[in-house]
Every structure is written in C-alpha cells, then in structure tokens.
Amino acid sequence: MLLEPLASAADGTSPGDLPGPLLTELTALYASNHEFFALSGDFPDAHHISTEQVATALADELSQPGAEVLLGRSEGRLIGVVVTLTHHPDPADPDPWIGLLLVDARVQRTGLGRRLATATEDRFRTAGRSAVRLAVLDNNPKALAFWTTLGYELLDHREDTQLGRPCTVLRKPL
C-alpha cells in the first residue's frame, strides 16, 4: 500500500490543476461510494458525482489550515482517499483528525480500509503525535463498527462543524 499526499496549494497547485486522469480516478472513487454520500449529504445527488464537484470538494478540504489529502494506491490503482487535519479548529483539542477515509466501494471489505487507517495512524505516530480523533455520522453504523473494531473509543457526541450533522467523536491512542 502506497500512501502519498495530493498536491496542495502550498506546492503551487490546486485540485483544479490535477491531471485529468487523476481527477477521473478520484471521481470514480467518490462516485463508487454513493451510499456514504447519500448519508452525508455532501453532494446534491449521490448517484451523479461530477469531476467538478470532486475538484471543488478537494479544494475545500485543502483550504483548511493543516489539511492534507492522502491518496491510497495498491498495485498502482487508486483504492482510497484519506483527509487529515494536523489540528482541529478547537484550540483545546490536542489531537490530529481523520476527516474522511474513503475506500473504493468495489474493494471494500478486503482489508484495504484497515490498511489505509493503519498507514495514516503510522504517519501521525512518526510525526510524534500520541492520539488521533475522528467523527462518525450518527446515521452511519457501518462506519462506527469499522472504527471501533480498529480500537477507536467513544469520546463525545456533537454536531460537525460544517453542516451541523450529529456525530460520534472517537479517539485512539497511538
């Protein structure tokens, strides 16, 4: 499994500048997860996600201070995306966050999501971080089961900062 950062504005590029084939790969990955996006409401029509919508979503993610978009590849194929934050907007929150971990729906339940999560945790551990947090939408019991199986523990219930959706906040010591 290869986990590599997507070019960011700090590199002088933006998701709108992504090569067409990469943006096409990313759009296919996002579109394969229509079940998740129907729950999240992140796109107006979860069954018709366009390259422009994906480019905008990635640009929005990367506009957050300390955000990073990581591309997960296995055997040369894009199989996942992980969005991280080095610091939560709440200054009282000391941990980095996983904002999104998305695995191509065609390869879900094969262990690749676990490998992506572990690789992301390893990046934080290598950076000297002692724990990581994330929020799971309360209407997504599959995601809650996935993360708790990986050792994440319930920390809090609150609304997400962008859309006010009810979430369960989880934390895992590294």
Domain boundaries of the chain, sorted by first residue: 2-173
- Tokens describing residue 158: 């609150």
Domain 2-173: homologous superfamily in CATH: Gcn5-related N-acetyltransferase (GNAT) (3.40.630.30)
Distance (Å, rounded) from C-alpha 102 to C-alpha 97?
Answer: 14
pLDDT score recorded for residue 10: 47
Q: Is the pLDDT of residue 100 over 50?
A: yes
Of the candidate ranges 83-97, 106-120, 145-159, the one whose mean pLDDT is the lowest: 83-97
pTM for this predicted structure:
0.91
How do residues 1-39 score in pLDDT, each as one tens digit?
889 998 654 454 455 577 889 999 999 999 999 999 999
**Mean pLDDT for the stretch of residues 86-104:** 91
Helix residue ranges, H only, 33-153: 34-40, 51-62, 112-126, 141-149
Cross-sheet strand order for the sheet of 131-137: 2-5, 67-74, 77-85, 97-103, 131-137, 166-173, 153-159
Mean pLDDT of the chain, nearest integer: 91
Q: Is the pLDDT of residue 112 over 90?
A: yes
